[in-house]
Amino acid sequence: MIKSVIRFLIIKIKDSPTFLNMITVGAIALIIKTVGFYKEIVIAETFGLSELLDTFFIAMLIPGLVSEVFLNSFNSVFIPNYITEQKTTRNIGSFQTTSGLITISVALIFIILSFLFLDIYLKAFFSGHTQDYYDLVKLQFYTLLPCILFWGLSSLLTGLLNIYDEFLYTSFSSVVIPLSIITCLMFFHVELKDAVLATGTLIGSVLQFLILLSIALTKNVIQIDKPDFFSQNAVIMFRQVPAKISSGLISGVNPIVDQFFSAQLFIGSITALNYGNKIPSFTIGIIGMGIGTVILPYFSKHAVDNKKDAFNKLNEILKYIICGSIVLLIFSVVLSKPIIELLFERGAFEAADTLVVSKIQQMYLLQIPSYISGLVMVKFLTSINKNNFMVFASLISLTLNIILNYIFIKYMEVFGLALATSVVSLINSIVLYIYIRKLNSKDF
């Protein structure tokens, strides 16, 4: 059974450029994750559990949130509407210019707001520290602020290049920032002093933007024309942004909910959950990057021509993903205990800890098929500009997560929190698929 599934998937990958692109991006994601992990090792060796590292993480919170929630949300809705513009009115120069100006404007607005409200932010969330502590935060925060602009432009260029199937370049560009941080730590730590991490991040952000810009210019994908903020596709794109941002913010609350419930249990529960989720999140991150990067432009191109055809493609892809992820799930669950033993069981991490963490890991691993399927369906809905429903789906998931955490924690303690996450993921994917089938029967 498993051999036949694997053989079928290999044949499909060979015959399908889309699947080949997914594998390519996934492989690059593995390399990037490895470099990122090495970066964390270098940082840990250099600073340990230090005040400088704490203040760097605090300084990164707002720029990271702006980039992840606002700028990346805009990039997601940019891709399908750009493809629609490309295949209908074909005024892509105007659409590119409009999107670029919006990205720059939003980035500058958030930079100014972040600068003006920094003191209020620090007093509200991080009160009770010394002035030297706040000075360290401010030094790094002001260094990181320009990154918001470069991250926004890089995100837009990445989306543009992905539309033209330049996945190899855009995927590899992500390695620039961790490499820049590693370089600054190894060779310029003395000169940069307390700003070494922030400066490394800024330099990497600028270099990533310049690399993507040079690739886009070389590939002749950039076109500049008079902006039109009221064109049909631009207006549709702007209307999708609030829903995309809202669903992202709501989804971001779920990990906080899990941390809250785990804090009510025995000492070490939070740590056990974090260890138990490392391999599942690492696996999902690689697969998610491989699929998510490729699939949005793929669906967008099909949806413009024929939404019915796009729906059929979705069903086909879901079948392959579910088959492949179930095979991965079986191997991962069976090998859960040996994996934890190999990675963590040494020193203070004893055999009893391995048993707890491996069981938690098994509970988290159960979500792999539904999580990846849900990711594909979210990309499909984004490609047809149906982001409003995802706000509703995110609210359902958040509510269910709270309810199931409360129920499961009574009977399974910390294991129940991990299981609740997988159950919520399964229900979310079912809800999304029911909605998509309803759309197919009505509108396509």
73-124 per-position pLDDT tens digit: 888 899 999 999 888 877 899 999 999 999 999 899 999 999 999 888 888 8
- Please give the pLDDT value at position 268: 65
CB count within 10 Å of CB 41 equals 11
Q: Which residue has the higher pLDDT, 202 or 74?
A: 202
Same domain, 398 and 281: yes
Which of 174, 206, 239 is the last residue in one of the domains?
239
Same domain, 199 and 278: no
- Please give the pLDDT value at position 329: 92
Residue 199: pLDDT band by 50, 70, 90 thresholds? very high
Identify the weakest region by mean pLDDT among 272-276, 331-335, 366-370, 386-390: 272-276
Give the structural domain span for 393.
Answer: 1-27+252-444
The residues, any chain, with a CB within 8 Å of residue 429's CB and separated by 6 or more, are 370, 371, 373, 374, 377
Which of 239, 268, 299 is the last residue in one of the domains?
239
Residue 402: pLDDT band by 50, 70, 90 thresholds? very high
Same domain, 22 and 126: no
Same domain, 218 and 110: yes
Q: Give the tokens for residue 8.
A: 């079928």
Report how far apart, in Å, the C-alpha atoms of 161 and of each of 59, 166, 370 are. 30, 5, 29
Residue 44 falls within a domain, yes or no? no
User: Could you give the CA distance from residue 397 to residue 426 in angstroms, rounded to a whole number?
Assistant: 10
Residue 49 has pLDDT above 60, yes or no: no
User: Could you give the CA distance from residue 332 to residue 238 in angstroms, rounded to a whole number?
Assistant: 42
Which of 213, 239, 265 is the last residue in one of the domains?
239
pTM of the model: 0.81
Number of domains in the chain: 2
291-330 per-position pLDDT tens digit: 888 888 889 888 888 888 889 989 989 998 898 899 999 9
Same domain, 74 and 120: yes
The residues, any chain, with a CB within 8 Å of residue 100's CB and separated by 6 or more, are 153, 156
- Please give the pLDDT value at position 109: 92
Average pLDDT, the chain: 86
